[in-house]
Amino acid sequence: QVQLVESGGDVVQPGRSLRLSCATSGFTFTTYGVHWVRQAPGKGLEWVAGISYDGSEKYYADSVKGRFSISRDISKNTLYLQLDSLNSGDTALYYCARESGAHGSLPRFDHWGQGTLVTVSS
């Protein structure tokens, strides 16, 4: 079955960096776009970044553009999110989520991980 498992969340000081991972299994990694969505404590969902099924396109929310970087390792079926210049507004549970259709169909998300918590605090 399809699984996405996030890791790498931690408590970090403002201005520091962190790398999140999302290990996937149960589907062909190179045929589905995958995204990061975050949720601040007690708040709603905010899309952060996405990468196309073939890895050729990367997309970012304005709030993280220039600070976060999405990438993937197809040999490990793993998605990454590099978070730089963190601030308190980045404190959230970070989910990875898979698009529901293969080969670049419309990005709604049918499988989600359980999330990894990033806390930015001095």
Partner 1 sequence: EIVMTQSPATLSVSPGERATLSCRASQSVSSSLAWYQQKPGQAPRLLIYGASTRATGIPARFSGSGSGTEFTLTISSLQSEDFAVYYCQQYKSWPPLTFGGGTKVEIK
Residue 61 to residue 11: CA distance in whole angstroms: 22
| Residue of the chain from 68, 95, 118, 120 that contacts partner 1 (CB under 8 A) | 95
Select 14 or 105, whichever has its Cβ closest to partner 1: 105
Shortest Å, Cβ 62 to partner 1: 7
By CB under 8 A, what part of segment 5-64 binds partner 1? 35, 44-47, 50, 59-62
Residue 53 to residue 35: CA distance in whole angstroms: 10
Stretch that binds partner 1, among 10-18, 23-31, 75-83, 102-110 (CB under 8 A): 102-110
Select 61 or 77, whichever has its Cβ closest to partner 1: 61
What number of other Cβ atoms are within 10 A of residue 5's Cβ? 14
Q: What are phi and psi of 16, to 5 degrees?
A: -85, 180
User: Rounded to an integer, what is the distance from CA 21 to the centroid of its chain?
Assistant: 8
Q: What angle do CA 92, 96, 101 make, to 5 degrees?
A: 145
**Binding interface with partner 1 (CB under 8 A):** 35, 44-47, 50, 59-62, 95, 97, 100, 106-110, 112-115
